[in-house]
Amino acid sequence: DPTPTTQRSGVSVRFRAVTKEYGAQRALNGLDLDIQPGEFVALLGPSGCGKTTALRSLAGLETVTSGELLIDGEDVTRVPVNRRDLGMVFQSYSLFPNLNVIENVEFGLRTRKVPAAERTARAQEMLDRVGLGDFAERFAHQLSGGQQQRVALARALVTRPRVLLLDEPLSALDAKVRTQLRDEIRRIQLDLGITTVFVTHDQEEALAVADRIAVMNAGKIDQIGTPEELYRRPETGFVANFIGQSTLLTALVHEGRIALLGREIDLTDPLPEGALARVRVRPENLALESFEHGEGEPGAVVTTSFLGSLRRTTVHLDSGLSIVVQHSAEDTPEVESRVRVRLLQDMVTAHVD
């Protein structure tokens, strides 16, 4: 085998009108998805939208009700799991407790009858890649959760799979380890050029690592695009709500203008007199003001959370709406105190529907 141990150019993956029913429950509802060779695609969506079912169907762990699955242009819809040539990492640490780390990583090579010396060399190289070169002799119970997931990743990659499937691999880890491992998975994926499908319900995670994000809703894809496209130009209310915490506000158009959160705004695309303009605002489009001296809409602080360099505060406006404001971490509003929320003028017009 003259190729370097892990190098492999990516393959394409395609879901074509895939439907999966569990009795009367339709988990996938005509799912169409085209993934380019070497691409990192995140399947993002709320609980129950069908992400895991999509991934398990691609893996061959579920038999689809109708539709086709193609890997590298080949129809694998009826190909059994062990012949699809995929690597998988799940949410729960799935290491064999009675095998040490390197034996865990070698496992797939053993079942493929790879000779012992090559097996060890490839497993060791993968362990080095995930930063656990010195942990070969340990057992799962001697590893942290993050380390166990690294071993699971090495085990999934050592067989040089055509596609890497990750089902919420980080959700059992604490925040710091989660971010570290997330970035490392991305680095390794880029190194290997392996096509990767990553299931997550965490929009921040998806925005941070994916080439493209497919937002799923009720068994199909609502919108697919780069993180920037989804964030800046959501095509549905569902996507807008799901990516980057936003609130939809409405205001009556009067003489080509609307009044919103303490501002009079000229509409770039004028709407008819009396029309209801819809404006989507995000936490970073808003400012928190003092109740006494501000000009924004009055309300009361519900919660406030410290996020390092900045802070997010939820305000219940007197008009009945709750809204999240992002502001400097130096402002520390007290819960239940009276404040005002104002729109940052320059951010607005682009968001008018």
Give, as ranges, the residues between 193 and 232 that touch ligand ATP (CB under 6 A): 201
Query: In the complex, what is the shortest distance from the CB of residue 160 to ligand ATP, in angstroms, rounded to a whole number?
Result: 27
The interface region with ligand ATP, picked from 46-54, 113-121, 250-258, 341-349 by CB under 6 A, is: 46-54
Contacting ligand ATP (CB under 6 A), which of 6, 52, 189, 223?
52
Q: Angle CA(317)–CA(320)–CA(325) in degrees, nearest 5?
A: 35
Query: Helix crossing, 101-111 with 116-129: angle to 10°?
Result: 130
The interface region with ligand ATP, picked from 51-59, 97-105, 246-254, 329-337 by CB under 6 A, is: 51-59
Closest CB to ligand ATP among residues 47, 268: 47
Closest CB to ligand ATP among residues 74, 202: 202
Binding track, positions 56-85, relative to ligand ATP; x by CB under 6 A:
------------------------------
Binding track, positions 259-288, relative to ligand ATP; x by CB under 6 A:
------------------------------
Helices (H) and strands (E) in the chain, counts: 8, 19
**CA–CA separation, 307 and 326 (whole Å):** 10
Closest CB to ligand ATP among residues 10, 50: 50
Name every residue whose Cβ is closer than 8 Å to that of residue 308 and which is 6 or more positions away in sequence.
329
CA distances from 14 to 70, 74, 203, 229 (A): 5, 9, 23, 21
Q: What is the dihedral of CA 174, 176, 177, 178, to 10 degrees?
A: 70
Q: What SS3 class is residue 213?
A: strand
Tokens representing 42 are 């995140």
Query: In the complex, what is the shortest distance from the CB of residue 231 to ligand ATP, in angstroms, rounded to a whole number?
Result: 21
Query: In the complex, what is the shortest distance from the CB of residue 91 to ligand ATP, in angstroms, rounded to a whole number?
Result: 9
- Other CB atoms closer than 10 Å to residue 139's CB: what's the count? 16
Give, as ranges, the residues between 14 and 33 that touch ligand ATP (CB under 6 A): 22, 25, 27
Tokens representing 11 are 């393959």
Residues that bind ligand ATP (CB under 6 A): 22, 25, 27, 45, 47-53, 201
